Every structure is written in C-alpha cells, then in structure tokens.
Amino acid sequence: MSKKIIATTSLAGCFGCHMSILDIDERILDLIELVEFNKSPIDDIKKFTKQVDIGIIEGGCCNSENVEVLKYFRENCNILVSLGECAIMGGLPALRNGIPIEECIHEAYIDGPTVKLNEEKILPNDVELPMLLDNVYPCHDIVKIDYFLPGCPPRADLIWNALVALITGNEMDLPYELIKFD
C-alpha cells in the first residue's frame, strides 16, 4: 500500500488544533509509517508538490488569504476535513460577526485601550496585507468540506482515530468519550 499523503493548515485559528495533532505522542512514529506529509506547518512545505489525499483545516476564514489558502487546499486535496470549532463554526474569531467591520477596525487601531502609538491614526491598508472579510466564515461556507471533527481542540485520540479510519478505509472508532465535551 502506498503511503497516503496529508496536508494541514491553520487559517483563522490559534494552532491549538495542530498542538492536539502532536498530542498523539509517540503514535506519530506510527503515523509516519502510514503517511507522508506535504504542505503543512509540520514540515514547512509552502506549496503543494503533488495531489494530496487528506487535507486538514484548522480555523475559519477571516480574511482574503484564508479564503485563497482554503480554495488552494480544495483544489489539491481529495478529502477535506474541518478540524475543531473555528473551522466548523468560526469559533472565537466569529464573535466579531454581528459587529460592523468598521467598528472592529476602529477599536483595534484607533480607539482600543491598548492602542498607544498610533497618533496619526493609520489604518493598515498596504496592498501586501490580506483583506478583512465582513464576517468570519466557517470553512464549509467557502468550499465543500467532507468531514468535520469537533472540539476545541478536538482530542488527540479523535484525530488519531479519524486519520486511521480515513487511511485504512475502515469505519471510525468513535467512543462517546471522544465527542463528549463537558
């Protein structure tokens, strides 16, 4: 059996879900036997070098770069998985949904209690910067997502079981404890 190829990325997330991937501990050695990583912060490959079997997305979309990256993943991955609360629902960043984006920017760069050094009241508008979206979107609002793994972050065992199921093609082992959150 040829190795499955995996890619991961963190969009508008905190990298907590990636930390949870690392929480599979020594099983990462088993994982390396089963898969090969392509574009991912884990190996720092920036661009896809081949078609990938499984793309894992942490975080939702809050700016144009997130959207571009997500679409880039959709084009290059056979299966896309939304990993964690932010990818699935927008998560904490989505708290700004419902507040006009103008107010958010004003609070962040002009009016906020921690803004000390912006006497010229400059708003970041360099062409190199990603553009802010009006809302924070869950990934499935931008592209088709095939699987969703809930949690904040999802537990390592959940990630592990899901990967094993996707790689082996067997049904996923999903004990109640893995999706119980309180």
Provide the binding-site residues for another protein, judged by CB under 8 A: 63-65, 67-68, 100-102, 105, 123-125, 127-135, 137, 140-144
Please identify, using beta-carbon distances, which residue of 30 and 68 lies nearer to another protein: 68
What is the distance in angstroms between the CA of the first residue and the CA of the last residue of the chain? Answer: 39
Please identify, using beta-carbon distances, which residue of 26 and 120 lies nearer to another protein: 120
Please state the closest distance from residue 15 (CB atom) to another protein, in A: 21
**What's the CA dihedral at 90, 93, 98, 101 to 10 degrees?**
-120
Helix axes 156-168, 27-34, angle to 10 degrees: 20
Please identify, using beta-carbon distances, which residue of 27 and 106 lies nearer to another protein: 106
How far is Cα 12 from Cα 58, in angstroms, rounded to an integer?
A: 8
Please state the closest distance from residue 63 (CB atom) to another protein, in A: 8
Please state the closest distance from residue 62 (CB atom) to another protein, in A: 10
Q: 85 near 149, Cβ under 8 Å?
A: no
Please state the closest distance from residue 19 (CB atom) to another protein, in A: 26
- DSSP codes, 135-149: EEEPGGGTS---EEE
Please identify, using beta-carbon distances, which residue of 19 and 131 lies nearer to another protein: 131
In one-letter notation, the amino acid at residue 31 is L
Please state the closest distance from residue 121 (CB atom) to another protein, in A: 11
Please identify, using beta-carbon distances, which residue of 114 and 125 lies nearer to another protein: 125
Q: Using CB atoms within 10 A of its CB, is residue 21 exposed (0-12), middle (13-18) or buried (19+)?
A: buried
